[in-house]
Amino acid sequence: MCTVTFLPSGDKVFLTSNRDEQLQRRAASSPVVEKMSTGKILFPKDGKAGGTWIALHNNGNAMVLLNGAKEKHHHNPPYKKSRGLVFLDIFDASFPSMQFKKTNLDNIEPFTLVIWDNNQLFEAIWDGKNACIEEIDPTLPYIWSSVTLYDKEVREKREEWFNIWLEESSSRTIESILDFHRFGGEGDEQIDLRMNRNGLLKTVSITGIELTTEKSVMYYNDMLTGVESVNEWLFANS
């Protein structure tokens, strides 16, 4: 939930997330399918609150969460609901971008959503006081780094790494973007994409989503246990 990329490639798009977490937090499960009010949703389930940070809907939508908005905020619990559960409330919709606008976010900790909604791309931000959503160009690549963990200088440096990778990469595939999420950086574990801060806070999983007009595939890699899973479905047939 702390580093996210969006990458278009021909008739495919890739949405990839590194989850950076305190190791004392209960581990998440591998992706599961749950029946919701608008269909079936595939997501890794957070071990603490039962929510998630990345998901696929069998209607073809996808969404990923980052902690924080545009500026680092002060953690001030208790909050009304976990961001991972709010995520599912928003994503369980035919048009999650519209659902974001309708959701009451009072007393929810700040967050950012990257939403693939009916072949449109949105960035939605809740800063603790105001909600805003913007449609962005789905033909361009993007990288986001959570403001709760990375200051402006580091976020800009990571954007430079991404741009260099885009220039040097001979192909844009799910394998290549997953490799970037595993190995991108300059050898400093404090700020590399696969981060590790004194063994207390580190990248605990990498999840990649590959989307076409016909099907989706979710690649999940638990970096602590080494367990990997691949889940594929046709949008019309979960």
- Give the residue-averaged pLDDT of 127-152: 97
The amino acid that residue 174 corresponds to is: I
Q: Is 174 helix (H, G, I), strand (E, B) or coil?
A: helix
| Owner of token pair 């290549």 | 176
| Residue 25: predicted pLDDT | 83
The token pair that represents 199 in the structure block: 């063994």
For the chain, where are the E strands, in sequence order? 3-9, 12-22, 32-36, 39-43, 54-57, 62-67, 111-117, 120-126, 131-136, 142-145, 196-197, 201-211, 215-222, 228-234
pLDDT band at 190 (very low <50, low <70, confident <90, very high): very high
Q: Tell me the pTM.
A: 0.96
CA distances 213 to 58, 60, 78, 185, Å, are 12, 8, 41, 32
Residue 161 has pLDDT above 90, yes or no: yes
Expressed as residue numbers, the domain containing 176 is 3-234
173: DSSP letter: -
pLDDT tens-digit profile of 28-66?
Answer: 999 999 999 999 999 999 988 899 999 999 999 999 999
Per-residue model confidence (pLDDT) at position 238: 43
Categorize the per-residue pLDDT at 218 as very low, low, confident or very high, splitting at 50, 70 and 90.
very high
CATH number for position 34: 3.60.60.10
Give the total number of structural domains in the chain. 1
Confidence at residue 27, expressed as pLDDT on a 0 to 100 scale: 85
